[in-house]
């Protein structure tokens, strides 16, 4: 258990964007910035390193460049300045997976056929992709709903299908842009816990964006606080709760204290 004073001291001593060790790096963002052609400076010079198995969450005011940073890492847009390096990737089928706030399911495909989509694009043989899709849906608690269409699924179930569609590729780096923002609080908590179990099982690395301080603290090994636009990393806050996060953690005094620290720096950045 970590006391208030020791946790605060750790937070104040940490330098933004640099974890404690250098082994097993998955991602290195070096002096990356983004200015759009309209002249909008979305992201200031940013440095960030992720190591294998970490769960790092970005929080900050709306429009501070959190989603821009994810898109830069995914290669969907290019940086104005700086470099982005990925390391230690072994899985050639799907190194980086991206999960958006909207599930973006194809309405004419069943849950299973939606999960098969990226495997189909990649040329995976039909028997293998059907097997992988069924297994992944089962891991996400959707056995029995393989043949359901998106219109027949709840919001939480649609997000599980979206997660399955990415997880089936066995990515080594998950990029997640507010994936649970549209569901109710109880469903959100359940999805948080289920996703953390998947991360422990598969050992992938996650960079997560949320506006929920409590979600950030519950999910993360580190919380990165960003300033208003142009976004800069202003504080890195380690989360000292170990790998397994049980629901009762949310009501503990230590959890509340960590949330308070994150909120304080978030307000300063805004």
Mean pLDDT of 65-90: 87
pLDDT at 94 over 60: no
**Percent of the chain, pLDDT > 70?**
88
Q: How confident is the model at residue 114 (pLDDT cuts 50, 70, 90)?
A: very high
Q: Worst-scoring range by mean pLDDT, 76-80, 87-91, 225-229? A: 87-91
> Using one digit for the tens of pLDDT, what is the confidence trace for 30-54?
999 999 988 889 999 999 999 999 9
Share of the chain above pLDDT 90, in %: 62
Q: Is pLDDT at 2 greater than 70 in this prediction?
A: no
When pLDDT is averaged across residues 239-251 and rounded to a whole number, the result is 87
Average pLDDT over residues 173-187: 90
Crossing angle of the two packed helices 111-121 and 155-167, in degrees rounded to 10: 30
Enumerate the β-bridge partners of residue 222. Answer: 56, 238
- Give the per-residue pLDDT at 269: 67
Tell me what pLDDT residue 183 has: 85
Handedness of CA 268, 193, 181, 168 (dihedral sign): positive
Can you tell me the mean pLDDT for 205-218?
95
Q: Which residue spans within the chain are E strands per DSSP?
A: 25-35, 41-51, 55-59, 81-86, 96-99, 173-177, 205-209, 222-226, 233-238
The 10s digit of each residue's pLDDT in 183-201 is 889 989 999 999 999 998 8
pLDDT at site 23: 55
Longest dimension (CA), the chain: 56
- Prior bond to 164 cis, omega within 30? no
**Predicted pLDDT of residue 16:** 40
Average pLDDT, the chain: 86
Q: Which residues contact 103 (CB under 8 A, 6 or more apart)?
A: 150, 158, 159, 161, 162
Which residue segments constitute the domains of the chain, with CATH numbers given?
Answer: 4-90+172-269 (3.40.50.300), 105-171 (no CATH)
Q: What angle do CA 19, 24, 25 make, to 5 degrees?
A: 60
Confidence of residue 182 (pLDDT cuts 50, 70, 90): confident
Q: What pLDDT does 20 receive? A: 41
Q: What's the average model confidence in pLDDT over 218-222?
A: 95
Distance set, CA 117 to CA 74, 98, 177 (Å)? 19, 14, 20
pLDDT tens digits for range 121-158: 888 999 999 999 999 999 999 999 999 999 999 989 99
What is the reported pTM? 0.85
pLDDT of residue 1: 36
pLDDT band at 90 (very low <50, low <70, confident <90, very high): low
**CA separation, residue 114 to residues 32, 94, 107, 158, 165 (Å):** 34, 16, 9, 10, 7
């Amino acid at each position: 258990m970590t006391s208030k004073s020791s946790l605060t001291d750790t937070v104040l001593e940490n330098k933004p964007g640099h974890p404690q060790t250098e082994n097993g790096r998955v991602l290195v963002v070096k002096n990356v910035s983004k200015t759009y052609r309209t002249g909008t400076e979305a992201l200031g010079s940013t440095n960030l390193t992720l190591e294998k198995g970490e769960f790092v969450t970005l929080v900050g005011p709306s429009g501070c460049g959190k989603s821009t940073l994810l898109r830069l890492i995914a290669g969907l847009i290019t940086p104005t300045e700086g470099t982005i390096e990925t390391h230690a990737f072994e899985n050639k089928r799907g190194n980086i997976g991206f999960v958006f706030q909207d599930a973006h399911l194809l309405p004419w495909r069943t849950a299973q056929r939606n999960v098969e989509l990226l495997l189909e694009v990649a040329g995976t043989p039909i028997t293998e992709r059907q097997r992988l899709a069924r297994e992944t849906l089962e891991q996400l608690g959707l056995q029995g709903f393989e043949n359901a269409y998106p219109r027949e699924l709840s919001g939480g179930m649609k997000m599980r299908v979206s997660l399955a569609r990415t997880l089936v590729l066995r990515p080594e780096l998950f990029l997640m842009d507010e994936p649970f923002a549209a569901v109710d609080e109880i469903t959100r908590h359940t999805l948080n816990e289920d996703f953390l179990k998947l991360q422990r099982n598969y050992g992938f690395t996650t960079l997560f964006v949320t506006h929920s301080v409590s979600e950030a603290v519950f999910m993360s090994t580190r919380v990165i606080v960003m300033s208003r636009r142009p976004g800069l990393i202003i504080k890195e806050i380690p989360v000292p709760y170990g790998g397994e996060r049980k629901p009762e953690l949310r009501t503990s005094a230590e959890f509340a204290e960590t949330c308070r620290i994150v909120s304080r720096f978030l307000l300063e950045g805004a």
